[in-house]
Structure 1
Amino acid sequence: MSDKYAVPNKLPGKTVSVLAHRKRRILQDKATIEQKKALKTKRISGLKKHHKFRRPESFVMSYLKAERTAKRMKRTIVRNNLLDTNDASKTNEKLLLVMRHAGKKIFDETTNKIFKTLNMPYRQNAVFLKNNKEAQILLKVIEPFVVYGYPSLNIIRELMFKRGFARINGKKTPIQSNALVEEHLGDKGIICLEDIIHEIYTVGPNFDAVKEFLCTFMLSPPRDGWKNKVSVSYKRGGEYGDRGGDINELIMRCL
């Protein structure tokens, strides 16, 4: 037994029971330990409650941002006359490469649904689209959050070889052989990776089947960062929106 609970080395004024003295010291130590645990628990719970606290302004700002986004979409549709389906002269069956570069958290539900439809749930996601009327409407609505343009054949090849993955049974699978391509797209006459690249570049009849076979491309942030303000359109000296052929230089910096 440790000397911690021993009787003090002095003559007591009255008869002292060794066991009673030892028991009292043990109880005192237990009470001290319990008190420290209680204080620690109270302090931790207080910290948790502090982190859960949110200022009322944070809720208001969410609704304000969603309302501003909805109003911007309405203005864009009216200004560009996007609902006029009779004007087919603006429809261009070229290939578009679209990359989401902004909007880590978007409060507008319509914008979130469009990104979900395009399989672009996160920033730095990139997809190929047909440049038709439907794509133009969607891109005008989500334009502040994306950059897009016409990719070159070299950029398509670089994307496929460096960031290309297939979706097999709902799982992201690397394309390690042409046998994998032939197994899933052979009935469409596509038997190798070069056939996929050709089908995408020419926007061929099996473009949708190839898109369904491929996963969304996950790119890196541009090397040396963004050169201009991401909240300003490319036509006005910023970053977002239609870049035409200049999209190729940006994608090379993201690979």
Structure 2
Amino acid sequence: MPRVVPENIQKKQARDAKLLKELKDRRDQERKERAEKRKQLAANAEKYYNEYQATERSLVDNLRQAKAAGNFFVPAEAKVAFAIRTRGINKLDPKCKKIMQLLRLRQLHNGVFVRLNKATVNMLRRVEPYITYGFPSQKTIAKLIYKRGYGKVSGSRIPLSDNAIVEKVLGEKHGLTSVEDLVHEISTCGPHFKEANNFLWPFKLNSPRKGFAEKRHPYHNGGVWGNREDQINELVKRMI
């Protein structure tokens, strides 16, 4: 005589089988989505790399053509600056203090990206004796974000160790789903630069190797503060 399975046991087995199937289907779907996402991220990274290479090649070609023709070639003005605080709070007047707060340069050796326009250029010039700034290359921007990048997630400072951190904050509204997207948005000064820059926590840099020269003097007189233009890349390299 076959063994009779109680009805409550049958119901439990059916429920467990249903839950197990739902779990398996969900995991399969998540695995498929992750694979598609990895493929998309790889395609984006390749597209950005080709874009950077084309821009660099175009600049070199224009310089060579101008030199061959005996002319001058003036590159386009930089759209993004990187500012580093070089002095503390001593003798800091209230207006400069407020500008430092607006720039988010609250501590010594803090660094931030700044979109260049008339207002921000005037702000940088007003606090020049307390900061040094310049125009970072794409490689410098990528190195800063990958090596020293932290994001603002619910008011907390979170290291950018995973693309999911960027996607959680900037993905749905602004279409930035990876750290590479973040680098591209900052380096090209894209339409969502403000949101991407606000997401990035101010960079906490080290004191530069071999130290600063003369903090009291401007950079063009052999000192520290002021506009370094593309020489900011060398300083950032010493401070990472």
Q: TM-score, normalised by structure 1?
A: 0.62
Indicate if the aligned counterparts of 2:80 and 2:116 stay in contact, CA closer than 8 A: yes
Q: Given that residues 100 and 146 in structure 1 are in contact (C-alpha distance below 8 angstroms), is that contact kept between their aligned partners in structure 2?
A: yes
Letter in 2 for 1:190: L
What letter is aligned with 2:179? Answer: L
Which of 175, 190, 205 is the aligned partner of 1:204?
A: 190
- Equivalent of 1:247, from 232, 235, 238? 232
Name segments (4+ residues, structure 1) moved above 6 Å.
none
Partner SS state of residue 240, structure 1: strand
- What SS does the aligned partner of 1:215 have? coil
Aligned to 1:150: 135
1:171 and 2:156 aligned: yes
- 8 Å CA contact 2:78, 2:135 repeated in 1: no
Which of the residues 168, 172, 181 maps onto 1:183? 168
Q: 1:106 offset after TM fit, Å?
A: 4.0
Q: Which residue number corresponds to residue 36 of structure 2?
A: none
**Any conservation in 1 of the 2:81–2:135 contact (CA below 8 Å)?**
yes
Q: 5+ unaligned residues in a row in structure 1: which ranges?
A: 1-90
Q: CA deviation at 1:245?
A: 0.4
Query: Kindly, what percent of the aligned residue pairs are identical?
Result: 36
Does the residue aligned with 1:127 lie in a helix, a strand or coil? strand
Query: Is the strand fraction higher in 1 or 2?
Result: 2
Report the Cα distance in structure 1 between the residues aligned to 2:142 and 2:91, rounded to whole angstroms: 32
Question: One-letter code of the match for 2:227?
Answer: D
- Preserved CA contact (<8 Å) 1:233 1:241: yes
> Are 2:136 and 1:136 equivalent residues in the alignment?
no
Alpha-carbon separation, structure 2, partners of 1:98 and 1:244: 11
Whether the aligned pair in 1 keeps the contact of 2:87 and 2:131 (CA below 8 Å) is yes
The offset of 1:104, in angstroms, is 3.8
Pairwise CA RMSD of aligned residues?
1.4
Give the TM-score normalised by the residue count of structure 2: 0.66
Change in Cα spacing, 1:92 to 1:106, as seen in structure 2 (3 Å) is farther
Q: Partner residue of 1:194? A: 180
Structure 1 residue 153: Cα displacement: 1.0
Unmatched runs of 5 consecutive residues or more in structure 2: 1-75
SS at match of 1:239: strand
* 8 Å Cα contact 1:93-1:132 kept in structure 2: no
3-state secondary structure, aligned to 1:205? coil
Q: 1:93, 1:130 within 8 Å by CA — same for their partners in 2?
A: no
